[in-house]
Amino acid sequence: MIYPLRRAALAALLLGVSATAMQAEMMAATAPPDAPKFDAQVEPVYVNRSDIAEFKALPAYSEPAWVKAFVDAGKLPPVAERLPKEPMVYKTANMPDGNGVYGDVMRHVIGGRPEGWNFWAGQTYGWGGIDIALVECLTRTGPLFEVNAADLQPMPNLAKSWEWAEDGKSLTVHLIEGAKWSDGDPFDTEDIDFYWNDVVMDPEVTPLMGASQETYGVGTTLDIIDAYTFKMNFTTPFPEAVLYAMAYGNFCPGPSHVLKPQHPKYGGKSYAAFHDAFPADMMNFPVMGAWVVVEHRPDDIIVTRRNPYYWKVDESGQQLPYLDEVQYRLSTWGDRDVQAVAGTGDFSNLEQPENFVESLKKAADPSSPARLAFGPRSIGYQLFFNLSANGWGEPDARAQAVRELNRNLDFRKTVTYAVDRQRIGDSLVKGPFTALYAGGLLTSTSYYDPASTVFYPFSLDSAKEALKAAGLEDTDGNGVVNLPGGEDLNVTLLVNADYATDKNVAEGVVAMMADVGVKVTLNSLAGKDYDNAREGGKHDWYIRRNDQEFVSVVQGISRLAPTGPATATWHYANAKGELDLLPYEQKLVDDITAFNSTQDAATRADAMKDYQKTFTENVNAVGLTAYPGALIINKRFANIPLGAPIFMYNWAEDNIIRERVFVPADKQIGAELHPGELAGKLGEGTIKAE
């Protein structure tokens, strides 16, 4: 690596110029430039969690008349027997339009495709709100966007309450009592036991969002106390992050009564067979969510019908959800925006700036079927470096050489100096939307501190100086710098092919790196293939739209640093479980550990300031662009919370609390595809009352 530098120094000496003088100064880092002012259009009405919902028994319950017909036909127990002892009761005062009426449909459009229904073995449902609707979790954080800072803690959900031991070393959790799966099977700690021991703690099983023991703290154990109580034991006091790790994506128990028999530990044929046991054409998979999958036409549509055992009601005793059907049209993410503003779809997270202008134009028309409201600047793209040099992803010689370079700060500085963030943002959309993003925490989180954020401004000269300092020069004059063996440096950049924005940002990076003599080749993969390549370390660099951790800190906090062998998506352990952290990466780990080890707000804020400074001055990732998203939703829907962001603690599909959303009778569009039908037995079709 030092070879080219020695030659260059020799050349400089011959020219009577000292090598150090030859290296002009790299431009000094600065504080991040002020972002163009862009306020969220509507502010939430801030409340406490207890203002949203509570658990209590009501004197009487009701259900849609067409569901009552199933009871009258002896095909369902009476609604009171289908509900838990104390259902979750959504409070009317927190509903923007009050208690709703039954009927109608919400028509989603999504870009993913369901692999199968075994979320617990890592199968995706295709995103876009399907899994959020079907797979409910112990706590819930989507609606926290409207919760007062003083009450900011995950909302109770399947876990209706919890208490810490005096010393904070254990947490006793109380499940809702008497809730049932959509096929009538009881929900209880049998499901918790299976999830913890045979999913999270089984190294052969990886749930979709990667929950592992590290997610809940190394050394954490779980004891079942009784049918509705369990206890988690920790090695450090008061790890409150665990309560967030009980929300969507992590502690979301599966139906053990159907999963367990397929698991190799309980007679299942193999782990592969367990993974594939519930294929996407198998209907009526039992859920705790508000709707059940009753039809899947590949590449066309998924239809879900209300869950007659859903365990939530409104204060008048109406069993939720109000909407009888939710559909997911299987298309593309870009088409979701188009259909939402056209009115053929009902919902979109406007998250691709290329569609901003057209969507704004269409929604501005008073006759537009949809309303559009921008939220905070909570979408961010970063370029990450694969920092493993000890074998994660089985690199070949070329890839290994790039990883060694990735571990060199001067090489990482080359990239952050070479990218013109303004040009990247303008290539997506002109106007006040995009901001120059330094990387790390987004400005929309309360933990963001500009004084702790190190920003390397666009400077081609500085990029070239950094490249030289990293020992790379174009020794054969072909415009591309060379590795010590003389071959051109060629970096592969992994990008998600499902989004125009991901590709446009990546193409901008390729062009800008070429300007400084670094050849970058795109590896553009669709959804799950992209996720598998990223998680499998099959990349030199990858571009990623942030997940929750960079916009909320507390949701997904274990992903902010390599706190375990497979937590920080830029640096996993090798096959032997070894993590070769760089010294600054260890500091990131220490900052996250410090954050998790205290309940003191000031100490937490300091830990995140140190994290942000360490992350950005070491260019752990290159921030590229950040911008606000907009929620587009059809105007016929009521109970859409004010100021619901498309992304913060979770996506809008969670944030708007769909089970409370309704369509007034006079606005219902009669677009249900299975009117009057409920899910039948697992693997069979739907059932009718008569």
What residues make contact with ligand BQZ under the rule CB under 6 A?
127-129, 132, 333, 349, 351, 527, 531, 547, 651, 653
Shortest separation between residue 635's beta carbon and ligand BQZ, angstroms: 20
- 608/441 Cα distance (integer angstroms): 9
Looking at the Cβ atoms of 127 and 458, the one nearer to ligand BQZ is 127
Tokens representing residue 675 in the block: 């009117």
What is the nearest approach in angstroms of ligand BQZ to the Cβ of residue 653?
Answer: 6
Nearer to ligand BQZ, 12 or 522 (CB): 522
Cβ-based neighbours of 213, under 8 Å, separated by 6 or more? 200, 201, 219, 220, 564
Taken as a whole, the chain contains a residue count of 690
Cβ closer to ligand BQZ: 306 or 559?
Answer: 559
Tracing tokens 């415009």 back to the chain, one arrives at 479
Distance CA 174, CA 443 (A): 36
Are the C-beta atoms of residues 170 and 232 closer than 8 Å to each other? yes
For ligand BQZ, which residue has the nearest CB? 127
In the complex, least distance from residue 246 CB atom to ligand BQZ, rounded to whole angstroms: 18
* Pick from 60, 53, 64: nearest CA to 101: 64
Give the shortest CB-414-to-ligand BQZ separation in angstroms: 29
Compare residues 209 and 687 and give the one whose CB is closer to ligand BQZ: 209
Least distance from ligand BQZ to the Cβ atom of residue 533, Å: 12
Least distance from ligand BQZ to the Cβ atom of residue 261, Å: 29
8 Å CB contact between 417 and 432: no
Based on CB atoms, which residue is closest to ligand BQZ, 121 or 472?
121
Q: Which is nearer to ligand BQZ, 456 or 530 (CB)?
A: 530
Residue whose CB is less far from ligand BQZ, 531 or 617:
531
Q: How far is the CB of 129 from ligand BQZ (least distance, A)?
A: 5
Report the distance separating Cα 165 and Cα 146, nearest Å.
29
**332/598 with CB nearer ligand BQZ:** 332
Closest approach of ligand BQZ to the CB of residue 106, in Å? 13
Kindly write down the DSSP assignment for every residue of 153-169, as one continuous string: SPEESSEEEEEE-TTSS
Kindly give, in sequence order, each residue whose CB lies less than 8 Å from that of residue 500, ignoring residues fewer than 6 positions away: 334, 352, 354
User: Burial letters for 162-181: b for 16+ Cβ neighbours within 10 Å, e otherwise?
Assistant: bebeeeeebbebbbbbbbbb
Residue 302 CB, shortest distance to ligand BQZ, in Å, is 14
At its nearest, how many Å lie between ligand BQZ and the CB of residue 573?
21
Cβ nearer to ligand BQZ, comparing 463 with 631: 631
Cis, peptide link before residue 321, omega less than 30° from 0: yes
Closer to ligand BQZ at the Cβ: 154 or 210? 210
CB within 8 A of 628, min separation 6: which ones? 38, 40, 374, 375, 376, 377, 378, 379, 433
Q: Which is nearer to ligand BQZ, 4 or 122 (CB)?
A: 122
Cβ at position 295, least distance to ligand BQZ in Å: 21
Residue-wise DSSP of 61-84: -B--HHHHHHHHTTSS--HHHHS-
Read off the amino acid at residue 562: P
Q: What is the largest CA-CA distance in the chain?
A: 99
Asked if residues 135 and 156 have their Cβ atoms less than 8 Å apart, the reply is no
Closest CA to 579 of 565, 589, 567: 565
Q: Helix (H, G, I), strand (E, B), or coil: what is residue 231? A: strand
**Closest CB 351 distance from ligand BQZ, rounded Å:** 5
Q: With respect to ligand BQZ, which residue has the nearer C-beta, 358 or 476?
A: 358
Place of tokens 């640093």: 561
Q: Which is nearer to ligand BQZ, 220 or 501 (CB)?
A: 501
The nearest distance, CB 668 to ligand BQZ, in angstroms, is 24
Contacts 24+ apart (CB under 8 A), 199-206: 199/120, 199/121, 199/254, 202/265, 204/264, 204/271, 205/120, 205/121, 205/122, 205/263, 205/271, 205/274, 206/121, 206/122
Provide the β-strand partners of residue 638: 662
